Amino acid sequence: MVRKLRPIKAVRKFYKKEFYHQPGTIPGTIIIDENAEHTTIILFDYNQNNFIRKQIQIPEECTAYLDQESVSWVDVQGLGNPDILQRLGKVFDLHPLVLEDVVNMAERPKIEDYEDQLLIISQMVVPMSQNCGFYSEQVSFVLGKHYLLTVQEEPEHDCFESVRVRIDKSKGIIRKQGADYLAYALLDAIIDGFFPVLELYGERLEELEEEVIFNPTRKTLQQIYQIRRELLQLRRAIWPQRNAISSLIRDGSELIGAEVQIYLRDCYDHAVQVMDMVENYRELASGLMDVYLSAVSNKMNEIMKLLTVISSIFIPLTFVAGIYGMNFNTETSPYNMPELNWYWGYPICLAVMAAIALGLLFFFWRRGWLKNSSAIKHN
């Protein structure tokens, strides 16, 4: 199944239904999503002195460049043409399982060695332009002795433009190196692409931290929960990539030179750094959720304390009003509420009730019970 390049923004988009091969499907079977983008093939062929960039019309055109001493980068963008993909598999002599892993976009990042070819499955993320979120896309590498085949889901979002510029302008040492260095450069660009995404999450978490402390709402909780799920998606993307790069450094490959192995160590360090940042942000998000629950609980306690203070004031007033609401007969006995017949009885009763209320307020104030309760009105 080929997953549509999607923004990881809304909570509902995290766990979209995935379609895998039916049980008993023949190994190497390719399933193309009907909504996949049209396939475009871009060829970059270069050495230290020359550079060619052209769009390939038919896959067989690549054959003329693969046997040269130059480095050939064949960038396949879009997976909507199964015939072209099958023909590319024949041109590059891809194993059926390699072609299946490249085309079926439900693979976990991994490294597989096929003697004269090295398969690298990676997960690329690109930050959204305006909102906190990211696009997720699988990128596959097939590394040969003098060529590199890359397969992307869509051409709209990738982080390879800096590598293309370096090749075009002959910046750095990329034009002096082989296909293994090109694979490292692209893989390093993918890993570095996580940092802008994490920077957005760091800024958003800082905003949520202030909001949780000063004005926590139900929307705040939803945003924290959404960020936690998005960070989980980032963790699922970077964790296996870190392990894959580690295994490539540890086990090595005949297609990876000793000099490029050193550069891969730097790429692995970046992956570890990304992993640490993701874990730190996940812990911070979890801490914000705990702070939110504590803030809501404290706010509820303050509200209950204020209501208790108000109730405590009205309890004696209700008692007084309840007594004077009884039926009395002062002609039978002078003890049957004689003040009912007083001239100033009603004002005196109100004055006593006001004195009781003010006395209780003064008592609560001296005990410090009204200090925090007054802050509830500002929230």
Interatomic CA distance for residues 367 and 278, integer angstroms: 47
Average pLDDT over residues 107-119: 87
Residue 277, Cβ neighbours under 10 Å: how many? 20
- Domain assignment of residue 87, yes or no: yes
- DSSP assignments along 231-268, one per residue: HHHHHHHHHHHHHHHHHHHHH--TTS-HHHHHHHHHHH
Mean pLDDT over residues 76-96, rounded? 87
DSSP secondary structure of 328-341: --TTT-TTS-GGGG
Q: Tokens 């879009």 sit at which residue?
A: 78
Do the domain assignments include residue 83?
yes
Contacts of 293 (CB under 8 A, 6+ apart): none
**Domain containing residue 368:** 305-378
Among 129, 157, 173, give the residue marking a domain's end.
173
- Residue 46 inside a domain? The answer is yes
Residue 54 lies in a domain: yes
Distances (CA, A) of 174 to 140, 160, 165: 20, 14, 11
The pLDDT assigned to 148 comes to: 94
d(CA 319, CA 321): 6
To the nearest 10°, the Cα dihedral for 103, 108, 113, 118? 50
Cα gap 136→4, rounded to integer Å:
9
Which range, 222-236, 267-281, 321-335, has the best average confidence (pLDDT)? 267-281
pLDDT of 3 > 60? The answer is no
Closest CA to 238 of 267, 274, 264, 207: 274
Q: Is 202 a member of any domain? A: no
Structure tokens at 378: 């500002």
Average pLDDT, the chain: 82
CATH number at residue 103: 3.30.460.20
Same domain, 10 and 152: yes
Q: What average pLDDT does the segment 340-349 reach?
A: 79
Question: Is residue 261 situated within a structural domain?
Answer: no
* Beta carbons within 10 angstroms of residue 86's beta carbon: 14
When divided into structural domains, the chain yields a total of 2
Residue 264 CB neighbours (<10 A): 20
Give the domain-ending residue among 121, 156, 173.
173
| Selection from 251, 250, 263, 44 nearest residue 148 by Cα | 44
Q: Are residues 161 and 12 in the same domain?
A: yes
In a domain, 205, yes or no: no
Q: How confident is the model at residue 5 (pLDDT cuts 50, 70, 90)?
A: very low
Burial readout 99-138 (b: 16 or more C-beta within 10 A, e: otherwise) = bbbbbbbebebebebeeebbbbbbbbbbbeeeebbbbbbb
Q: What is the pLDDT of residues 135-154, one digit of tens each?
A: 888 899 999 988 999 998 87
49-58, 310-319, 366-375: segment of lowest average pLDDT:
366-375
* 12-23 tens-digit pLDDT: 333 334 445 566
Predicted TM-score (pTM) of this structure: 0.75
The answer as to whether 75 is a domain residue is yes
Which pLDDT score is estimated for 30?
Answer: 66
Residue ending a domain, among 140, 173, 206, is 173
